[in-house]
Amino acid sequence: MKPRGGYNVNPIGGPSLDIEKLAPPKMLCIPLSSKHLTFSELSVADGDTVTCGQTLAVDPESFSVPLIASCGGVVSLTKLDGHIVIENLSCPSDPAPTPEVPLHAPYDAGHAAENRQKLLELGAWRFVSNARTHKVADPEGKPSAVIVSIVHLEPFVAHGGAICKDKVDELVRGMEHLQSLLEYQTIHLVMPDVKNALAQKIQETIRGHAWLKLSEVPLQMRYPFDNQTLLARHLGLFDKGGETVWYIPAAGVLAFDNALSYGQPTTTSRISLAGPVVKEPKHLEVKIGHPIADILDGRLNRDQDVRVINGGILTGVQIPAEQTGVGVECSGITVLETPTVREMFGWLRPGADRRSFSKCFLSALKGTFKENLSTSLRGEGRPCVSCGHCVEVCPAGIMPNLIHKYLFSDELELAQKLRTDLCVECGLCSYVCLSKIDLYDQMARAKVQIAEELGQPEDQQVTEEPETEVLV
Amino acid sequence: MKFLANLLDKARPKFEDGGAFRPMKPLFDAIDAFMFNPLSQAKLAPHARDPLDVKRYMSMVIIALLPATFAAFYFYGWRMLPVIMVSYMAGGAVEVLFAVIRKEEINEGFLVTGLLFPLILPPGLPLWMVAVGVIFGVLVGKEIFGGTGRNLFNPALVGRCFLLLSYGGPMGGAWIEPGGGLFGRLFEYKSVAVDAVSQATPLAQAAAETPVITPLGDLFFGNVLGCAGETSALALILGGVLLLLFRVASWRTIGSTLIAFGLMTALLVGGDINTVLFHYLAGGLLLGTFFMATDPVSGPSTNGGKFVYGALIGVATALIRLKTPLVEGMMFAILTGNMFAPIIDEVFIALHVRRLQNEK
């Protein structure tokens, strides 16, 4: 299936590929829940002393994926609601030198089951997701194909190039480990432009591998074509219907290498710090749980009237920056200005500096340029005027405006018929909506509501079919 | 400008809950938001939004209507000014009234209706009739369906249809002889009683027993009898091109209307290219195609549906003009199209659902 719709938002303040390694903070605030994971089963008690790499809690809903202590210290469960706080940190000032390991991992399919278990215990398995549900994949499951992606197109989230910077050998070795976990399934590697320096280096490094067959499938670098579900659809991996496809981001492959080559858990994360009010938008290497207030301190142009977002502009979640740390799924911190000055006759201005999906501003005559974005709604909520912009941008090929109308009149069956379940929650429909309707939120809610109230026959097939095959 | 902002800030509490003018809050909000961008924030993800809003979207239609409006002033004098003002005031009053009753915000969609309505009326129509027409159009065509975004028919056309059926005489005879020269009638005020003429419009002349075909050049430039904004094909094409460039109007609707109309007319007149061209330029075809058929609310929302909808309007216009006693068919054709839009959508949505069925 060809990718449809999509739109690049292009704001000022994207992160540069520079990486700053932050010194360990005074304490860690590790959130117990993130977008797909909820670490509800605690393995430590208040006042316990933990060591770096120890399991703090597990997520029973996601195959007991562990939450790993990214530094040793004393645990406090009461200090911050919904977080595990570690104080009196005992991080070694200079980490022990990493042992020498061979450049290439031997093919080791015989220990696949043990290695999967090892990945699970060391916390690396959480990166492997089911491309259809975005939930953690079954460590004993058998995928029909695997997608490894180093492309992240949402504005302001950590760039694939930064995540893999100086780690190409590790990335390739991680993929070799991944190959050992599988049988004969294809690994699809999603890279930016093949002429890109990083992509070339990866190609050069992997060219010598006998198990590797390179074939190019062109993909436009337009948001949200990097979405795992869309990639799987684009590559035709869902064509037969019930397939399970695994998706692993570059950070996950690096965590694989860390776990299987060195036997270490991954306790740091490369995240982006970006936005128009950030002094120097770039990438940061931080410990999981690094307090966000600590990260932002001194790095912003202004302290007041800003919104701190966990993730990118389009799908991120607003966070109380004072009260949380970098979570396990955090890919970036976005800081946007919340405007306080009202512009006179703003809607009448020619708008050469306003980049719009529509052609209603003078900027339509200009080429691509970066725009200064804030959290302003830039208009007022109105009823839908059926302009059709949401249908044009929708990468899933559904009609958000129509689904909105059905949901408005409580016709859940009709919304289901229009395949609300195909929505990949990219946020573009809300972004372009001129009536400022929160379509993204409505779609996401409707998906849950439909699954709960009406059930999704297709999804039941998805979980049943591969398992019977494994048994046979 | 600070003074204005302060003034609005000072007045605001009076319109909030508990203030003396609470019922008029929609009006205050509209004026407030018209003057200064509201500070509303994106509460949920996406945390930033596209700069386009309904105000801007509707003002693009108004910009595209400016050439035709100017042409109306040029040909029929500045009597157009009170006509437009009456249309805005009477229709605006209904809009505000309903916003107050419904406790909702005033909708910008009316800004388009308010300007479009005078342009589809004979320029010599008495002002009270303009008021009655626009009130009926906004009330019955839009407000009783729930306001902008929920109306079934184009409000301006509902108003015009009402006037035509109720006051057939003036609607078919209150024409004003178009001006010419460098300034046209830009400096003249034509009063209804003295200056209105009841000759036949080009379409009526062509349909008469001894047909007279108006020169195509006159039709293109617009110095003929007709409704205020419909005569100048030049101004309308300019506006239509702007609408297409702004991507506010759907090229699908415009294209299919024009092509279907041309084919049907050619079929009915036996392929005479001059007659076909005459019908393209005469009457309200271009105004209706560019500014009324493309109304996204009263038309279908599916892309495929837009083609069918446009074709329906084009064919119906040609049939009404050439096969019925009526000389002009655009208004009834679009209202018919509006009527069919939901069912056309229904068909294309069913096709869309079938296509998505195999999507995994």
CATH number at residue B274: 1.10.3430
Q: Show residues of chain B in contact with A230, CB under 8 Å.
A: none
Any CB–CB contact under 8 A between A403 and chain B? no
Say if B26 falls within a structural domain.
no
Distance to chain A for B246, nearest Cα, Å: 5
Judge: B356–A397 Cβ closer than 8 Å, yes or no: yes
Judge: A354–B48 Cβ closer than 8 Å, yes or no: no
* Chain A residue at shortest CA distance from B351: A418
Write down the pLDDT at residue A456: 56
Of A167, A155, A66, nearest in space to A118 by CA: A66
Mutate to test the interface with A, among B2, B32, B52 (most CBs of A within 10 A): B52
Q: How many residues does chain B have?
A: 360
User: By CB neighbour count within 10 A (0-12 exposed, 13-18 middle, 19+ buried), where does A184 fall?
Assistant: exposed
Q: Which carries the bigger pLDDT value, residue A254 or residue B14?
A: A254
Question: Can you tell me the distance from the alpha carbon of A387 to that of B295, in angstroms, rounded to the nearest whole number?
Answer: 9
A111 Cβ partners below 8 Å, 6+ apart? A180
Write down the pLDDT at residue A92: 66
Judge: B33–A314 Cβ closer than 8 Å, yes or no: no
Question: Can you tell me the distance from the alpha carbon of B316 to that of B336, in angstroms, rounded to the nearest whole number?
Answer: 8
Q: Which carries the bigger pLDDT value, residue A195 or residue B97?
A: B97
Write down the pLDDT at residue B308: 97
Please determine, for residue A170, whether its predicted confidence score (pLDDT) is greater than 60: yes
Query: Hey, is A282 helix, strand or coil?
Result: strand
Judge: B52–A358 Cβ closer than 8 Å, yes or no: yes
Say how many CA atoms lie within 13 Å of A379 toward its Cβ.
27
Any CB–CB contact under 8 A between A224 and chain B? no
Judge: B48–A399 Cβ closer than 8 Å, yes or no: no
Q: Which two tokens stand for residue A7?
A: 């739109």
Mean pLDDT of chain B: 91
Please determine, for residue A378, whether its predicted confidence score (pLDDT) is greater than 70: yes
Any CB–CB contact under 8 A between A357 and chain B? yes
Cis bond before residue B46 (omega within 30° of 0) = yes
* Boundaries of domain holding B109: 54-351
Q: Which carries the bigger pLDDT value, residue A205 or residue A23?
A: A23
Any CB–CB contact under 8 A between A16 and chain B? no
- β-strands A145-149, A245-249: how paired? parallel
Say if B119 falls within a structural domain.
yes
Task: Give tens-digit pLDDT for A291-306.
Answer: 999 999 999 998 888 9
Please determine, for residue A214, whether its predicted confidence score (pLDDT) is greater than 90: no
Q: Show residues of chain B in contact with A338, CB under 8 Å.
A: 41
- β-strands A332-337, B196-197: how paired? unpaired
Q: Which carries the bigger pLDDT value, residue B345 or residue B37?
A: B345
Q: Which carries the bigger pLDDT value, residue B142 or residue A212?
A: B142
Say if B286 falls within a structural domain.
yes
Taking residues B10-38, report their average pLDDT: 85
For chains A and B, CB pairs below 8 A equal 211
Write down the pLDDT at residue B84: 96
Q: How many residues does chain A have?
A: 472
Q: Which carries the bigger pLDDT value, residue B260 or residue A207?
A: B260
Q: Do residues A37 and A136 touch, judged by C-beta distance below 8 A?
A: yes
Q: Which two tokens stand for residue B128?
A: 């009270």
Interface list for A 155-184 with B (CB within 8 A): none
Write down the pLDDT at residue A462: 42
Judge: B59–A380 Cβ closer than 8 Å, yes or no: no
B190 Cβ partners below 8 Å, 6+ apart? B76, B77, B79, B123, B124, B176, B196
Write down the pLDDT at residue A322: 75
Q: Show residues of chain A in contact with B152, CB under 8 Å.
A: none
Of B295, B300, B286, B287, nearest in space to B249 by CA: B295
Say if B37 falls within a structural domain.
no
Question: Can you tell me the distance from the alpha carbon of A339 to that of A289, in angstroms, rounded to the nearest whole number?
Answer: 30
Taking residues A164-173, report their average pLDDT: 87
How is chain A split into domains, by residue range?
A: 377-453
Question: Can you tell me the distance from the alpha carbon of B337 to that of A23, in angstroms, rounded to the nearest whole number?
Answer: 68
Judge: A422–B356 Cβ closer than 8 Å, yes or no: yes
Of A18, A37, A53, A41, nearest in space to A268 by CA: A53
Please determine, for residue A467, whether its predicted confidence score (pLDDT) is greater than 50: no
Judge: B108–A427 Cβ closer than 8 Å, yes or no: no
Judge: B50–A357 Cβ closer than 8 Å, yes or no: yes
Please determine, for residue A95, whether its predicted confidence score (pLDDT) is greater than 90: no
Write down the pLDDT at residue B34: 84
Task: Give the CATH fold of the A377-453 domain.
Answer: Fumarate Reductase Iron-sulfur Protein; Chain B, domain 2 (1.10.1060)
Mutate to test the interface with B, among A132, A338, A370, A377 (most CBs of B within 10 A): A377
- pLDDT more than 90, % of chain B: 62
Find the CB nearest B5 among A342, A385, A435: A342
Find the CB nearest B44 among A359, A364, A441: A441
Q: Which carries the bigger pLDDT value, residue A266 or residue B309?
A: B309
Say how many CA atoms lie within 13 Å of B115 toward its Cβ.
20
Write down the pLDDT at residue A466: 35
Highest mean pLDDT, choosing among A248-252, A411-415, A456-460: A248-252
Please determine, for residue B7, whether its predicted confidence score (pLDDT) is greater than 90: no
Give the distance from CA A434 to its chain's centroid: 27
Write down the pLDDT at residue A464: 36
Write down the pLDDT at residue B18: 82
Judge: A342–B38 Cβ closer than 8 Å, yes or no: yes
Please determine, for residue B12, whether its predicted confidence score (pLDDT) is greater than 50: yes
Please determine, for residue B24, whether its predicted confidence score (pLDDT) is greater than 50: yes
Question: Can you tell me the distance from the alpha carbon of A187 to that of A209, in angstroms, rounded to the nearest whole number?
Answer: 13
Please determine, for residue A281, whether its predicted confidence score (pLDDT) is greater than 60: yes
Q: Which carries the bigger pLDDT value, residue A217 or residue B195?
A: A217
Write down the pLDDT at residue A366: 86
Question: Domain tally for chain B?
Answer: 1
Find the CB nearest A356 among B52, B105, B297: B52
* Chain B residue at shortest CA distance from A9: B50
Taking residues B206-220, report their average pLDDT: 88
Judge: A385–B149 Cβ closer than 8 Å, yes or no: yes
Judge: A438–B55 Cβ closer than 8 Å, yes or no: no
- The ipTM of this complex is 0.89
Say if B7 falls within a structural domain.
no
Of A332, A129, A310, nearest in space to A228 by CA: A129
Distance to chain B for A90, nearest Cα, Å: 38
Judge: B108–A382 Cβ closer than 8 Å, yes or no: yes
Q: Is the dihedral of CA A53, A55, A59, A64 positive or negative?
A: positive
Please determine, for residue B202, whether its predicted confidence score (pLDDT) is greater than 70: yes
From start to end of A288-331, where are the E strands?
306-310, 317-318
Task: Give tens-digit pLDDT for A11-46.
Answer: 999 999 999 999 889 999 999 998 899 999 999 999
Find the CB nearest A432 among B50, B107, B296: B50
Judge: A11–B250 Cβ closer than 8 Å, yes or no: no
Write down the pLDDT at residue B194: 65
- β-strands A55-59, A41-42: how paired? antiparallel
Mutate to test the interface with B, among A239, A358, A429 (most CBs of B within 10 A): A358
Query: Hey, is B59 helix, strand or coil?
Result: helix
Find the CB nearest A375 among B4, B41, B349: B41
Amino acid making up residue A343: E
Which runs of consecutive H residues, i.e. helices, occur in A126-224?
Answer: 160-163, 168-181, 197-206
Least confident range of A200-209, A249-258, A439-448, B74-83:
A200-209
Q: Show residues of chain B in contact with A306, CB under 8 Å.
A: none
Judge: B47–A345 Cβ closer than 8 Å, yes or no: no
Specify the pTM: 0.90
- pLDDT more than 70, % of chain B: 98
Write down the pLDDT at residue A96: 61
Amino acid making up residue A5: G
Task: Give tens-digit pLDDT for A343-377.
Answer: 888 888 888 888 999 999 999 888 888 999 999 99
Least confident range of A199-213, A401-415, B59-73, B100-114:
A199-213
Judge: B47–A309 Cβ closer than 8 Å, yes or no: yes
Q: Which two tokens stand for residue B178?
A: 């178009």
Distance to chain A for B57, nearest Cα, Å: 7
